[in-house]
Copies of this chain bind each other. A is one copy, B any other.
Amino acid sequence: MDETSFLAGYDPRKYAAVAVTVDVVALTIRDGRLCVLLVERGAQPFAGRRALPGGFVKEEPLNAAALRELAEETGLTPGAGELDRVHLEQLGSYGDPGRDPRMRVVSVAYLAFAPSLPEPTAGSDAARAYWVSVDEAKDLAFDHDTILADGLERARGKLEYTPLATAFTGPEFTIGELRQVYAAVWGEELHAGNFHRKVLSVPGFVESTGETTARGGERGGPKAKLYRAGDARLLHPALLRPTREEPVR
């Protein structure tokens, strides 16, 4: 059988007993705290419970579906530049039978890093969406607790060996702001002097704009130099998390 006649007699519906969705772990930093975008579910199952934003994949690539869902829930429009600075990467797929009580659903999870975005405005799909500190994001619907935990662990690791912390800041930032991103994601303070030395010593991590902030910090301190993201895609050597005591056994 040649390929043409094979395709002609092929019935896709024969195999399709599985639905494919995308779920998005969208992270941002608000007031120095790492936050995740959640939606309130309106219908069964898990009605009233919070969940990660997501939905069915249409005739589009998987990452396009994730970006579309993110745009719909935040009320921001892709293509208008608002989501250009969002970093999006695939996290993994979750497809255990029974993870959705109605049918077999395989969900492709995505991880997004966003600069501080506005609170989703009412009046749209996004009305049910809001940012929640990751510490308070528990008891989510489906297996979204697991997906969120995996996303957080991935994010923490990514900050070690990639310059993606800059995806959480504005286009220009100070070393202190960058340090606060690391502190929020890792959940611990960093030694300011060593961090400063390290960031400037890794080639391609940041580049100076030659400018400084117009004012000092809110609580004092001198004007800080401004930087923008460099062209490195990997940090070498990496910026390792402070002593995780013993390595995971």
Contact = CB atoms under 8 A, between A and B. Distances in A.
A235 B100 CA distance: 36
Contact of A61 (B10, B54, B95): B95
Contacts of A194: none
Given A5-B43, A62-B95, A106-B108, A236 B247 contact: yes
Interface string A9-53: 010111111111100000000000000000001111101000000
A3 B3 CA distance: 36
A2 interface: yes
Contact of A247 (B100, B233, B246): B233
A103 interface: yes
Contact of A20 (B1, B18, B56, B236): B18
A103 B20 contact: no
A136 interface: no
A59 interface: yes
B234 A44 contact: no
A47 B18 CA distance: 26
Contacts of A84: none
B95 A92 contact: no
Give the contact-size bracket for chain A. Answer: 35 or more
A160 to B, nearest CB: 10
A176 interface: no
A101 B56 CA distance: 21
Interface in A44-100: 44-45, 47, 54-57, 59-62, 90, 92-93, 95-97, 100
Contacts of A214: none
Nearest to A89: B92
Contact of A3 (B14, B45, B236, B237): B45
A101 B248 CA distance: 44
28 contacts: A2-B55, A2-B125, A3-B54, A3-B55, A3-B101, A4-B41, A4-B45, A4-B47, A7-B101, A10-B102, A15-B103, A16-B17, A18-B18, A18-B19, A18-B57, A20-B106, A61-B96, A61-B97, A62-B96, A92-B93, A93-B108, A204-B249, A232-B248, A232-B249, A233-B247, A233-B248, A236-B244, A237-B240
